[in-house]
Amino acid sequence: MTQHQPIHVRDANHADLETLQRIGCDTYREHFSEVWTPAGMQRFLSDDFSSENLARSLAATDQHLWLLAEDVAGDTLGFAKLNWNSPMPLGNKVGVELQKIYLLKSATGKDYGKQLLRVVCERASVRQHHLLWLDVLKSNRTAQAFYSRFGFHTCGEIPFNTDMLEIGMQVMAYDLTSSPQAHSTTCS
């Protein structure tokens, strides 16, 4: 088994705005360009990673947490965004939404995603949350398998459309009171 390097995960702040824009746009294009037209992708990224939206989100630390994952040289490999006290679709539970967790394609398959997800769970647990949830493209079987191996449970589907496709999302939940990768949570 290959030994992978540990990553450093730190809270992002306003000084990281341009890094988040760059890594956000790069990772999203790398992973999701096949579900958008080029113009639709540009509109989505221009809105989602605009300076105004990022600055507002970074400043609202009572609502959001942005994390940057860096290698030992300090190069950014990916990021995560958490939304505190977020109602989970398909039920009446409130938890932490893992809205974004993306790594550059060059950083995938190296255990970095698992390391970043563990930090996400630790940060949510420190704030005494008991539920972490996310949604993932129905067509993204690789990501669904990754979350399932970690201990997430599929709760159901919600609609999601791009300017090109009706895709749908799987909603997945994880019980933060369990030990990492021990068992999953129920959804309702």
User: Does the pLDDT at position 1 exceed 50?
Assistant: no
The 3-state DSSP composition of the chain as helix, strand, coil percent (nearest 5) reads 35, 30, 35
Domain boundaries defined on the chain:
8-175
Write out pLDDT tens, residues 122-179: 999 999 999 999 999 999 999 999 999 999 999 999 999 999 889 899 999 999 987 5
Taking the C-alpha atoms of residue 99 and residue 106, their distance in angstroms, rounded to an integer, is 21
57-114: pLDDT as tens digits: 999 999 999 999 999 999 999 999 999 999 999 888 999 999 999 999 999 989 999 9
For 49, residues 6+ apart whose C-beta sits below 8 A from its C-beta are 20, 21, 24, 25
Domain 8-175 homologous superfamily, CATH: Gcn5-related N-acetyltransferase (GNAT) (3.40.630.30)
pLDDT band at residue 49 under the 50/70/90 scheme: very high
Three-class DSSP category at 24: helix
Give the confidence band of 2 by pLDDT, cuts at 50, 70, 90: low
Comparing CA positions, the residue from 126, 49, 124 lying closest to residue 86 is 124
* Per-residue model confidence (pLDDT) at position 179: 58
The answer to whether 186 and 174 have CB atoms below 8 angstroms apart is no
